[in-house]
Amino acid sequence: MEIATRVWNHKWKIDPIVRSLIDTDFYKLLMCQSVFHNRPDVQVTFSLINRSHHVPLAKLIDEGELREQLDHIRSLSLTRGESTWLRGNTFYGKRQMFRPDFMEWFENLRLPPYFLERVGDQYELTFEGSWPEVMLWEIPALAVLMELRSRAVLDDMKKFELQVLYARATAKLWEKIERLRDQPGLKIADFGTRRRHSFLWQDWCVQAMSEGLGDRFTGTSNCLIAKNRDLEAIGTNAHELPMVYAALAEDDAALARAPYDVLADWHEEHEGNLRIILPDTYGTEGFLERAPDWLAGWTGIRIDSGDPERGAETAIDWWKTRGEDPTQKLVIFSDGLDEEKILELSRKFAGRVRVSFGWGTLLTNDFRGLTPDDRLAPFSLVCKAVSANGRPTVKLSDNPNKAMGPESEIARYKRVFEVGEQERRDVVV
């Protein structure tokens, strides 16, 4: 637990939170390469959205400190070692996943400017520019805000209080791992970069998972940690691809096609375990019903909103109607998981479909119950593409509480994608 000592020591000086351009999710780099080849000139705006209004970020976090952290990220460039790792490493069994033209571009990249304004007790933080550049702000921007919030709380604590806090968090994490390791056939990865408590804590959680779960721990979405700890980098694709493709559609017919166009591009670039469908952007059921047959041949489906059991049942039924054997298919759960839910889903679908888990915020930021007033509890902060070439983006999701976009556009998308009644579910993290 040197973490506590380091936390205590760095109270008095600037200590960068993000120290590397690859301290980000692996799928961001995969998607970035795809965008770089297929849509390099699209202009996008990404915005920070704090879904947890009760957390007054602008009261907790000093604007000067936030600017220092963001400015530091703009000073970063890919190091030689990082470039060598990306160029030379094997990802998902494949060498040279990242092509030379992309790597050359990445090596010369600096992140574009940010726009920061305090509005009431919240910050408005936006990023504008070409899609492949702006998209790389998402993860570091979230990680900076999450960690500055942690530090704001930790700043009030004395040295031994910090030791006890991390001691309790360590014990809590280990109890989760002990419960998980009794589950046969478990496959689980760390997806917790964006809303982690801190970089050091995430690094720590990954080591704990690795020691505690052995090869049932399949790797981490964080490239820097994967590189430093010699683990697999894990990830596939996210909502921003269909959201931006959809925003660019010229008419309703093109809009209806957009989610499949994205995957057609992806299909050409990737195979095997990277062919994972994320079906919920505009409603899972309609998406699958209208999907072309070649999509049924993909390896699996990621369930990221709505009732996860229902999502998996829908996927299994869909594969069956398309003549596929579900036991050969993969379902990846990644929405708001904690160890109880992981165990429940794992037991529920054992033998019916291959299952794996992307465990995020409640792996790397479960400080619930460890401080008075729960001031370190994780909260729901996202950073999303809100427009593309001047047009607003829309997300419907399988949970209306995760929907985004202007109301009139949401109505249009619901019509185009034939989305009916949806079940509202609380978004905790």
Q: Please give the residue ranges that form the binding site for a copy of itself (CB under 8 A).
A: 1-2, 4-5, 158-161, 163-164, 166-168, 170-171, 174, 207-208, 211-212
Parallel/antiparallel/unpaired status of strands 300-303 and 354-359: unpaired
Tokens read off for 251: 């008419």
Contacts of 254 (CB under 8 A, 6+ apart): none
Q: How far is the CB of 223 from a copy of itself (least distance, A)?
A: 23
Q: Identify which of residues 200 and 381 has a Cβ nearer to a copy of itself in the complex.
A: 200
Q: Identify which of residues 159 and 391 has a Cβ nearer to a copy of itself in the complex.
A: 159
Q: How far is the CB of 288 from a copy of itself (least distance, A)?
A: 41
Nearest residue to 44 (alpha-carbon basis) of 181, 228, 209, 246: 246
Q: How many whole angstroms separate alpha carbon 184 and alpha carbon 206?
A: 20
Collapsing DSSP to helix, strand or coil, 99 comes out as coil
Q: How many whole angstroms separate alpha carbon 395 and alpha carbon 307?
A: 17
Position of tokens 């792996």? 363
Residues found in the chain: 429
Q: Identify which of residues 164 and 427 has a Cβ nearer to a copy of itself in the complex.
A: 164
What is the DSSP-derived secondary structure letter of residue 102?
Answer: H
CA 153 centroid distance within chain? 24
Q: How far is the CB of 3 from a copy of itself (least distance, A)?
A: 8
Q: Identify which of residues 62 and 175 has a Cβ nearer to a copy of itself in the complex.
A: 175
CA 182 centroid distance within chain? 27
Q: How far is the CB of 162 from a copy of itself (least distance, A)?
A: 10
Tokens read off for 175: 């109890």
Q: How far is the CB of 340 from a copy of itself (least distance, A)?
A: 20
Q: Identify which of residues 115 and 160 has a Cβ nearer to a copy of itself in the complex.
A: 160
Q: Are 403 and 397 in contact (CB under 8 A)?
A: yes
Q: Identify which of residues 5 and 328 has a Cβ nearer to a copy of itself in the complex.
A: 5
Q: How far is the CB of 1 from a copy of itself (least distance, A)?
A: 3
